[in-house]
Amino acid sequence: MDFSSIQAAAQALAQANRVVISTGAGMSADSGIPTYRDRNGRWRDFLPFSQVGLTPSDFAHPPGYRERPQHAWAFAEYLRRSMAQAPVHQGYDVLTEWMLRRIPQSFLLTTNIDDLHRRADVPETQFYERYGNLWELQCLERCTPHWWRENRVELCTLDTSTMEASNFPQCPFCQGLARPRIQMAYDEEFVEKEAGWKFYQNFLASGPVDVYLIIGTTLWMTWPEGQEPNTIIHINPDPNTHAHYQSPIAVTMGAKDALVGIDWAWRQMRKG
């Protein structure tokens, strides 16, 4: 347990008025969701597909949905089914609780598409999913700027021996092929959720941020001129990643244990 940095993080959060939080793959790793893609949005090889000679980066993009929808949708369907099984770990509940009650002036950005923050009831107006959400669909040809939520697990038929899907979902507006509303490689048609982006811009415009809390992500933030937060808390089990930031409060732990630990330390302070 990284006790002194846990204490320092709790202290900084207890004194903060306005906080921005970023989460990435390191947050959902503790729910058993592995890192599926690199910083350029390309999907890495992984077992169920490589076993049948397929590489997700060959088809997990809009051209792939046009040319090989059976494989593109098989990949999305596979991810949806695995993510639906993933438990929401306690670190998610801790963040939601902070945002609702202890630091209501906070905003959460995530690069994750797995829906776990939503399942932990994060407040909608304080939340922006930078790369979309696998549980939201849009038209492949973008016949409309609308997107829609699709909660069904087993959305497509999936043959796991060939990793081919069939019975793909359709766009309700043009009856063409639907796709997940996630930012993919070579993706010009991604439907941005404008409300989320506006919530974030409004939050930044309404005052300086005291603390920037970064959890398991390499997302690079740019701040309005002169508004860089004074304090950065960086949670990552890999000690080499702390050097990306200038003198952060560095918590060298996994997301779940770090958040639960900080929450505990914060509660002790309030008792004292």
Under rule CB under 5 A, residue 186 binds Zn ion: no
Q: Strands of the chain (E only): list them.
A: 19-23, 106-110, 127-129, 132-139, 147-149, 157-159, 164-166, 178-182, 211-215, 231-235, 249-251
Under rule CB under 5 A, residue 173 binds Zn ion: yes
186 Cβ contact list (under 8 Å, min separation 6):
61, 62, 63
How many residues sit in the footprint of Zn ion (CB under 5 A)?
6
CB closer to Zn ion, 143 vs 195: 143
Q: How far apart are CA 233 and CA 215, in angstroms?
A: 8
- Closest distance to Zn ion from the beta carbon of 189 (Å): 11
Under rule CB under 5 A, residue 52 binds Zn ion: no
CB closer to Zn ion, 173 vs 223: 173
Under rule CB under 5 A, residue 143 binds Zn ion: yes
CB closer to Zn ion, 105 vs 170: 170
Q: Which residues pair with 56 in a beta bridge?
A: none
Stretch binding Zn ion (CB under 5 A), from 124-132, 168-176, 217-225, 258-266: 168-176
Q: Strands of 160-202 (E only): list them.
A: 164-166, 178-182
Spacing of C-alpha 74 from chain mean position: 21
- Closest distance to Zn ion from the beta carbon of 97 (Å): 39
Q: How far apart are CA 37 and CA 44, in angstroms?
A: 5
Q: Considering only residues 139, 232, 249, 259, which one is a binding residue for Zn ion as defined by CB under 5 A?
A: 139
Q: Considering only residues 13, 95, 171, 258, which one is a binding residue for Zn ion as defined by CB under 5 A?
A: 171
Residues that bind Zn ion (CB under 5 A): 139, 143, 171, 173-174, 176
